[in-house]
Each structure stands twice: as C-alpha cells, then as structure tokens.
Amino acid sequence: MTSHDVAREAGVSRTTVSMVLSGSTAVVLADETRLRVKQAAERLGYRPNSAGRMLASGASKTIGLIVSNPDLLLVDGFIPPTLYAISKIAAGHGYNVLVESLPEANDDRAFSDLVLTRRIDGMIVLNPRTEDPQLAALIERNFPVVLLGTIRHPKEVTVNIPGTHDLQEAVDYLVGLGHKRIGHVAISKPGSNATDYRIMEFREALQKHGLDLPDSRIAYGDFSAKSGHDAALALFNQAPDITAVLAGNDTIALGVMRAARELGKSLPRDLSIIGYDDLPFAAYLEPPLTTIRSKPIEQGETATRMLIDLMQGRAAAKPDVDLSTEFIVRGSCAGPLG
Amino acid sequence: MTSHDVAREAGVSRTTVSMVLSGSTAVVLADETRLRVKQAAERLGYRPNSAGRMLASGASKTIGLIVSNPDLLLVDGFIPPTLYAISKIAAGHGYNVLVESLPEANDDRAFSDLVLTRRIDGMIVLNPRTEDPQLAALIERNFPVVLLGTIRHPKEVTVNIPGTHDLQEAVDYLVGLGHKRIGHVAISKPGSNATDYRIMEFREALQKHGLDLPDSRIAYGDFSAKSGHDAALALFNQAPDITAVLAGNDTIALGVMRAARELGKSLPRDLSIIGYDDLPFAAYLEPPLTTIRSKPIEQGETATRMLIDLMQGRAAAKPDVDLSTEFIVRGSCAGPLG
DNA sequence: ATTCGTAACTAACACGTGTTAGTTTGATCT
DNA sequence: AGATCAAACTAACACGTGTTAGTTACGAAT
C-alpha cells in the first residue's frame, strides 16, 4: 500500500498524490482533483511511510526525550505527568516521542544514536547533568534542545525552562516559625544540575536571614523514600541540633518522616519537614506535607512548545504560562521547641 | 556523511561497507577488508541513517509503547519502573521505544499511525481495555503484540504477561483476622481489563470462604490518592459496616487511609487496609502499608524479551523469572472490633 | 495563423540503505 | 594451455517519498 496505489485509484500521478497529502502548495491543483485524491486515500486506508518521507524530506518528525538519570525513571513521581504532557503536545503537532534513558557511562552512543541514526528533529533533556560535553556540543551547533529541570544555562540562546522556584518563600516561612538550623536532603548526588542548583538556592535563601548551611547539614539521597530515610538518619547523626529539614522532593520527605519517628520524634512538634513537587500523595500523608508545588504538566507542555518552535526555525517563544512554583502550607511544620 | 563516504575512505565499494556494518554474512569478505572498513567508519564517526535502513530492510527497529489510559501516565507509580525496564532491554537489542499515550476517543489514528506510518516492529500495551477492536484486529493478523497488565487473553497464541497475582493470599489473611465484610476501591472505571479482572479475582477469593462481594461494597477511583479518598467516603456511606478495604493500588490505599481518619477512625484498629503494587513509599506510610507487591521491572523486562522473540519470528519464550505477586504484611491490618 | 501565457499535471531525480546477480582475479586441475 | 572453480568484491536495483523542471492542453493576444 503506497502512494502509487492511491495514484492509480484516483487516476492521477504519484506526484499529485504527494502534493495533496503532504499539503504542499508549490503547485496549483484543481480542487476537484484534491478531493478525488483524498477520497481515494481514505477509501484505501493509506498511510504514508515515515521512512520514505523522512528520507526525502530530511525531517523525522520525532523528538527524543532523554532521561539522564535512571533513578528518575525508577522512582521519581514527576516523570509520568511530564511525559504525558510532552507526548500530548507532540502528538498534536504531528511529532512522535522516542524515549531514551541514559545508562551510567556510554551515553556517547545514546546521544549519537538518536541524533545521527534516528535523526530526531530535536530533544528534551530531563534533569541534565551539570557538565555534559556531548550535550554542550549539540547546543553549540544549534541543534534544537530544551533542557527541563532546575537549570540556569549560560548560553542565552539555549532554551531552558527556567527554574523559577521559590525556596525563598519556604525558608522565610521556616525562619518565621523560629527555626535557625535547617538541614537538607538532596534528591541525588552532587553533579546533577537540579541538585547543585537547589542547594545553591537554599544557601542563598538562608543567607538573607544571616543563616548558613554547613556541609554537615546536607545529606544526599536518590529520589526514593528509602534514600530519604537513610540520609535522614545520617543527617540527624551529623547534625543532631537541626529542627527542620527541607527535603529534595516529597518522596524523600516521606523517608525523613519515618526516620524521625523511628528516633521517637513527634511530627511536626519535634521536627518540621518541607517537601518539593507536591506529588499527588503529599496532601494525604500524616501529617499532610507542607511542600513546594512544581508544575510538571505545564513544564512539559511549555518545553515541547518551545522545542517545536526551535525545530521549525523560529526562536522559542517565552512561556505564556506561569511556571513558577507555589508554596503549599499544610501540617508538617511547627515552631521549634525550646 | 553516508556509507558512500566510508567507502571512499576505506577504498572499497558502498556495498562492501553495507555488508560489513550490517553484519551480513551472505558474502565472503577478507578479514583485512572488514577491519579497514570498520576503522574508516570509526574514524569518520559514521552512523547509518535509520530511514534508509528502514526503507531497504523493512524493519524499523522500533517498538511502540502504548499507554492506554492517560490517568496511568499522570499519577500511577508503576509506569516509571516499567518504562525503565522496557527501555533498557530494548536498547540492549538495538531497539528504540516510541511512547504513545492514547487520548480518549481517536485511538484509531494513534494505532494506525504507529503501525502503518511509523512502521513499528511490535508493540507493548500497558493496561489495555477489555474490548478494543483495533487491538484485537492487530493480534488477529499476528502483528507482534504483548499485553502488559492484569490480563487473561483468550487467544493462546497471543503473548501476555499472565497476571499471576494472588488476591487469594491477601483475602485469606483478612478473613483469618476475622473480617467478613470487605470493601474494594478499584483503580479505574469498569472497562479496563485490570479493573474488571481484579474484581473478578477478589470475588472468587471471597467465595472460597463463603463470602460475597455485593456491588455496594465496590467503589471506583482513577489511580490517584484523591480518587481513593473520595471513593472511600462514598463506600463508607454505601456500606457502613465494612471492616476492611482492599485498595486497587497503594496510592488509592493512601486516600482511603485519609478518608478513614477524617471519619475519626483509628488505623488499623477501626479499619484494615491492603494496597497493591508495593510502591516505594508504601513501607514508609503511617501505619506501614500491608500490600501485594507487583514486579514492574521484571514484568517490563519479560514483556520486552517476549516481544523481541515475536518480532524476530520466534515463539515467545515462557518467562524465566517469577512474575507472581508477593503478599507483604506490614502494619495496616488488624482484627475487626466487636 | 502564429505566438504567448497559464492552469493543471507529471516524468524524473534525490534521499541512504540492503541485497541479488554478476564481474574480476588468481590459483588449481586435466 | 585451456578449463574450472572459488574467493573477493561491485554494479545495479529496490524500498517510498518530496520536489524540481518540464510537458500538455487550451484559450487569449498579436
């Protein structure tokens, strides 16, 4: 079933079929002919072969979604809605989404496979590493890339969803309650952009109150509740005097809550906890989790729209939706004792 | 940068390059030539164009991952590890994964786009609908399909991951504790295979103890904690005498827990709750959730291996790993009062 | 009556690969 | 010496599409 068959059915040449179905306006065609071709295609259930189309046109109509950390895909709760949003917008513009999760080391192959072999038209990178030569090279040669995560990228041209999140508001809140020694459990080991950037922001927010964040008050997890639990135990050991914890995400916050309970702490009386993301379960925990709401669906949609702009040669439009985070006060914080 | 360039660099014909790089053994080539071609390709950083390859060979080396319910992608916790496993195994065999999340109605387009236009070599369907004519037609004409979810498919030839889960053990446990009126909050509305099948299994398990499951003891959610909360409130209203709830998944169980607390119930004293999946957070809830552990990674890996068998014309090998669920007893169940 | 112009369409090339049928080279056998 | 054969390689076709340059038909202008 090729365009040739449609041509025969409609009594025209294959060229005409191509012009009609690809919507080209380079050549004038009679309306009656256009209709006849469309009806013939419909009747035969014809669908163009993407390989032929790709070879001839050079565009694969495919975008690559790079998940730079396997842990993300394994346990983190903001991937699914992000993927949903990306897939939805992409489909609306005729693009398909190729998902690639990078293993630890040989990302060389993965990147070049997608770009050189699969000929993707653009890519969205979730939670990119702070330093990635491959990625930097792609951006340098103006390959359409959108970085999604908590990012400040030096190259102004490069599109990225700005991490306009407000740790400040959360920190103000904790300090307002009377907390002075606040710990942090990061979402992953140092080297991931989101991790490093969030710590930096946290530190800056504390400094506005004349507070500091010594390394002893930081522990590192891997997105999961278990890692949050283990890291929190280490944290309480390193810095027993902390009265509050800012967790890298809600799942980690959950692990912190359990660790605190195991040490006989009552929540939120003995320890205040703030999460990040406002995953769907956060409001249902006991106590309900005070958290910083990120907007994965809006972020995914915006990233995809920006990427489509880039792929079609336009400059990426500024996001027209508010991507900034929102501080959600629930019941997991209280004033410190003493 | 095409195979032609590699041919020139190596001083051979393009045919020779193709034979070497596609690993064809149809023609005898000198080892020295093979080496020279490989080195030339390496030196030039050549990667074959998948469109050309696809057109010539007819295989796209792509598998489609169909997420049949947007809710799944939005909130459910077993998608990420499943996707991770599928992507990993697929990559190991040279396949890429194209993700498609089906919107409500026009799935006609989505299916035929993937199969006819993108020419995927096979597909994995997550949580398929009980009745789907499109899907049935594909299976009928022996297109490689693996259904992943809780499924009993009539066509023996069709490969599916058997839902060898054990509601029985959980029900035995609850009945053993003394419960007689047990409610259920389903993961989605009727019509999804997993939902219908799980209710059927639950009913069968109860019957072995001479107990029944009237419709009034069933409420329907949509995978989310919120839906679990709302459905549980309805359930307590319809059937105030239930002493235990079997939740469709852990997230719904969380919502049920909150609903119970809002009604002044103490957990697990006044209500026993069992989840499903053993998502990473389940062990960290308060009380820790007793649940039925599913194995998304093993399921995803197995589904992909089976699909690869099918795509390569072999019969799908029986899974060599244990995919059966495991009943995990924690602290969310107790004997009923009175 | 010839030229011109335009609307409507199409022949033919290009994209990059896999593969079949065929050619060259050089050694071995009668 | 000529015939035979195998090893090593290659010319040419096929896959399905988009697009450029060109052809046909036909009414209008000179």
Q: What is the mean pLDDT of residues B19-23?
A: 92
Chain A residue whose CA is closest to B63: A98
- pLDDT for A233 equals 97
- pLDDT for B164 equals 60
Nearest residue, CB atoms, B97 vs list A47, A98, A284: A98
Quote the tokens at residue B199: 């209710």
Beta bridge partners of B275: B291
Tens digits of per-residue pLDDT, B214-250? 999 999 999 889 999 999 999 999 999 999 999 999 9
Footprint of strand C on the protein (CB under 7 A): A 12-16, 19, 27-30, 32-33, 52, 55-56; B 2-4, 14-15, 18-19, 21-22, 24, 26-27, 48-49, 51-53, 55-57
* Long-range Cβ pairs for the range B33-38 (8 Å, 24+): B36/B10, B36/B11, B36/B12, B37/B6, B37/B10, B37/B12
- pLDDT for A221 equals 94
Q: Among A280, A234, A281, A278, which residue's Cα sits nearest to residue A256? A: A234
- pLDDT for A323 equals 79
User: Between B25 and B183, whose confidence is greater?
Assistant: B183
Q: Among all chains, which residue has been given the structure tokens 């799908």?
A: B316
Nearest residue, CB atoms, A119 vs list B49, B60, B251: B49
Residue B151 above 80 pLDDT? no
Helix axis angle, A50-57 to B50-57, nearest 10°: 140
Nearest-angstrom CA–CA distance, A151 and B332: 41
Q: Among all chains, which residue has been given the structure tokens 């295609």?
A: A41
- pLDDT for A219 equals 97
Q: What is the mean pLDDT of residues B19-24?
A: 90
Chain A residue whose CA is closest to B109: A47
In a mutagenesis test of the B interface, which of A2, A68, A79, A84 is the best target, namely the one with the most B β-carbons within 10 Å?
Answer: A84
Q: Which residues touch B289 (CB under 8 Å, ≥6 apart)? A: B250, B253, B254, B273, B274, B275, B282, B283, B330, B331, B332
Quote the tokens at residue A172: 């103000």
- Asked if A275 contacts A249 with a C-beta cutoff of 8 angstroms, the reply is yes
Q: Which residue is nearest to nucleotide D20 (CA to C1')?
A: A26
Nearest-angstrom CA–CA distance, B36 and B24: 16
In what order do the strands lie in the sheet containing A96-101?
A159-162, A145-151, A122-126, A62-67, A96-101, B96-101, B62-67, B122-126, B145-151, B159-162
Chain A positions touching B83 (Cβ under 8 A) are: 73, 83, 99, 101
Chain A positions touching B74 (Cβ under 8 A) are: 80-81, 84
In this structure, chain A runs to a length of 338
- Asked if A128 contacts A139 with a C-beta cutoff of 8 angstroms, the reply is no
- Asked if B125 contacts B66 with a C-beta cutoff of 8 angstroms, the reply is yes
Residue A247, classed as helix, strand or coil, is strand
Q: Which amino acid is at A175?
A: V
Residue B201 CA from chain centroid, whole number: 19
- Taking the CB of residue A317, how many other CB atoms lie within 10 A of it? 12
Q: Which residue is nearest to nucleotide C10 (CA to C1')?
A: A13
Residue B158 above 80 pLDDT? no
Q: Which amino acid is at A288?
A: P
B 72-101 residues with CB below 8 A of A? 72-77, 79-81, 83-84, 87-88, 91, 96-101
Q: What is the mean pLDDT of residues B100-125?
A: 83
Q: Is B28's CB less than 7 Å from nucleic acid strand D?
A: yes
Residue A147, classed as helix, strand or coil, is strand
Q: Is A24's CB less than 7 Å from nucleic acid strand D?
A: yes
**What is the mean pLDDT of each successive set of 10 residues along chain A, which is 338 residues long?**
94 95 86 94 95 96 89 76 92 94 68 92 87 84 87 63 75 96 93 84 94 95 92 96 95 96 94 94 94 91 93 82 87 87
Query: What positions of strand C are covered by protein, i.e. any atom < 7 Å from a CB?
Result: 7-12, 14-22
Q: Among all chains, which residue has been given the structure tokens 């163009």?
A: A48
CB-based contact B225 A280, cutoff 8 Å: yes
Nearest-angstrom CA–CA distance, B260 and B333: 13
Nearest-angstrom CA–CA distance, A72 and A76: 5
Backbone angles phi, psi at A191, to 5 degrees: 115, -20
Q: Among A240, A170, A235, which residue's Cα sits nearest to residue A201? A: A170
- Asked if A19 contacts A8 with a C-beta cutoff of 8 angstroms, the reply is no
Nearest residue, CB atoms, A84 vs list B51, B88, B101: B101
Beta bridge partners of A97: A63, B99
- Residue B35's pLDDT band (boundaries 50, 70, 90)? very high
Residue B65 above 90 pLDDT? yes
A 271-290 residues with CB below 8 A of B? 280-281, 283-286
Q: Which residues touch B169 (CB under 8 Å, ≥6 apart)? A: B292, B327
Nucleotide nearest to B18 (CA to C1'): C18
Q: Is B15's CB less than 7 Å from nucleic acid strand D?
A: yes
CB-based contact A55 B60, cutoff 8 Å: no
**For the ranges A165-179, B64-78, B93-107, the one whose mean pLDDT is highest:** A165-179
CB-based contact A280 B49, cutoff 8 Å: no
Nucleotide nearest to A15 (CA to C1'): C10
- Taking the CB of residue A187, how many other CB atoms lie within 10 A of it? 28
- Distances in whole angstroms, Cα of residue B263 to Cα of each of B194, B222, B229: 30, 22, 11
B 229-258 residues with CB below 8 A of A? 229, 251, 254-255, 257-258
What is the pairing mode between strands A218-220 and A182-186?
parallel
- pLDDT for B71 equals 74
Residue A274, classed as helix, strand or coil, is strand
Q: What value does the mean pLDDT of chain B take?
A: 89
Nucleotide nearest to A20 (CA to C1'): D18
pTM: 0.91
CB of A295 within 8 Å of any CB in chain B? no
Tens digits of per-residue pLDDT, B270-314? 999 999 999 988 999 999 999 999 888 998 999 999 999 999 988
Q: How distant is the Cα of B174 from the closest Cα of chain A, in angstroms?
A: 24
User: Between B58 and B195, whose confidence is greater?
Assistant: B58
CB of B105 within 8 Å of any CB in chain A? no
Angle (nearest 5°) at CA A120 between A117 and A121: 140
Beta bridge partners of B290: B274
Query: What positions of strand D are covered by protein, i.e. any atom < 7 Å from a CB?
Result: 7-12, 14-22
Nearest-angstrom CA–CA distance, A303 and A295: 12
CB of A49 within 8 Å of any CB in chain B? yes
